[in-house]
């Protein structure tokens, strides 16, 4: 393709998309307050950035990752009720480092929860940006607390390569067969995309940035498991 051609093609495509977009009519519409479609709402003072969601297998509990907190909501009760809350902020030293690296203490140096997945029947796995120092942890579903070590401190794991440093970057995560597949930015600058496979018993796999088959400004939006024949590598 000749240079200069691509922007033009893209332009046409965008215009076409806009034209199509204006004719799209939703299959179903409900007015706000329509008794036929009850909408439950939940918010809590001091909790912002409800970014990450996970529905329990029985469909009764919605886990929500926000800023410096993970919530468990009972969505079968009306109104929606708070069943559990895990406060999880970056340590003061992590916040100081974050501010030292010229990030904002008011908007960025928090723990934005970006991964919340069902690891197995008893545990969730979660990761957050943790003041530009991505960190992961296990959640015990039964009592909705972070799993702790022998000293009672949360058992934290390095989250680099699984969760973004910067809350502005998108990421994706999926559990398949007890293994975690993620797509995110691998570095502080946010220009090194990486896809990886971790947890489980097999060796950790990561895409090699030297091969640069992922574009520097890749944005990860979603991931799916395409089941293959039994026994085939995923
Ligand atoms: C949710 O709330 C309803 C009504 O209060 C209760 O009957 C039910 O047991 C709760 N479910 C869970 C999963 O906590
Ligand atoms: C960041 O803000 C908190 C209050 O929200 C304050 O306690 C803390 O000292 C500030 N940290 C830095 C490094 O400015
Ligand atoms: C679920 O995973 C956690 C963390 O790896 C582990 O401690 C626990 O034993 C597992 N539970 C089951 C039922 O496999
Ligand atoms: C939560 O439950 C686990 C076992 O299921 C236990 O090891 C842990 O101490 C409990 N945590 C709290 C805070 O009760």
Give pLDDT tens digits for 211-227: 777 788 888 888 888 88
- Does 232 fall in a domain? no
Ligand nearest to the CA of 80: 1
Give the tens place of pLDDT for each residue, 172-219.
Answer: 999 999 999 999 999 999 999 999 999 988 888 888 877 777 788 888
CA angle 160, 56, 85 (to 5 degrees): 65
* Residue 121: domain span: 89-206
**Residue having the nearest C-alpha atom to atom 14 of ligand 1:** 74
Q: 77: CA distance to ligand 1 center in Å?
A: 6
Give the tens place of pLDDT for each residue, 118-165.
Answer: 999 999 999 999 999 999 999 999 999 999 999 999 999 999 999 999
In this structure, the number of other CB atoms found within 10 A of the CB of residue 144 comes to: 17
Question: Could you give the number of structural domains in the chain?
Answer: 1
Q: 68: CA distance to ligand 2 center in Å?
A: 14
Q: Are 164 and 171 in contact (CB under 8 A)?
A: yes
- Predicted TM-score (pTM) of this structure: 0.84
- Does 68 fall in a domain? no
CA 15 – CA 168 distance, rounded (Å): 27
- Does 128 fall in a domain? yes
Q: Are 165 and 108 in contact (CB under 8 A)?
A: no
């Amino acid at each position: 393709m000749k240079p200069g051609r691509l922007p033009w093609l893209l332009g046409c495509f965008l215009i076409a998309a806009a034209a199509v977009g204006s004719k799209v009519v939703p299959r179903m519409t409900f007015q706000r307050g329509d008794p036929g479609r009850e909408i439950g709402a939940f918010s809590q003072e001091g909790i912002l950035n409800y970014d990450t969601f996970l529905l329990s297998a029985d469909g009764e509990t919605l886990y929500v990752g926000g800023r410096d907190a993970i919530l468990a909501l009972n969505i079968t009760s009306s109104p929606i009720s708070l069943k559990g809350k895990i406060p999880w902020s970056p340590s003061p030293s992590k916040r100081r480092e974050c501010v030292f690296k010229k990030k904002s203490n008011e908007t960025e140096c928090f723990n934005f929860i970006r991964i919340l997945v069902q690891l197995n029947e008893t545990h969730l796995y979660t990761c957050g940006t943790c003041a530009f120092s991505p960190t992961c942890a296990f959640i015990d579903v039964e009592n909705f607390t972070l799993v702790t070590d022998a000293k009672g401190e949360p058992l934290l794991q390095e989250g680099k390569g699984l969760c973004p440093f910067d809350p502005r970057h998108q990421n994706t995560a999926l559990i398949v067969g007890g293994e975690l597949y993620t797509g995110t930015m691998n570095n502080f600058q946010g220009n090194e995309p990486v896809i990886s496979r971790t947890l489980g018993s097999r060796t950790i796999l990561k895409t090699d940035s030297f091969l640069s088959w992922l574009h520097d400004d890749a944005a990860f939006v979603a991931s799916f498991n395409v089941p293959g024949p039994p026994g085939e590598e995923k």
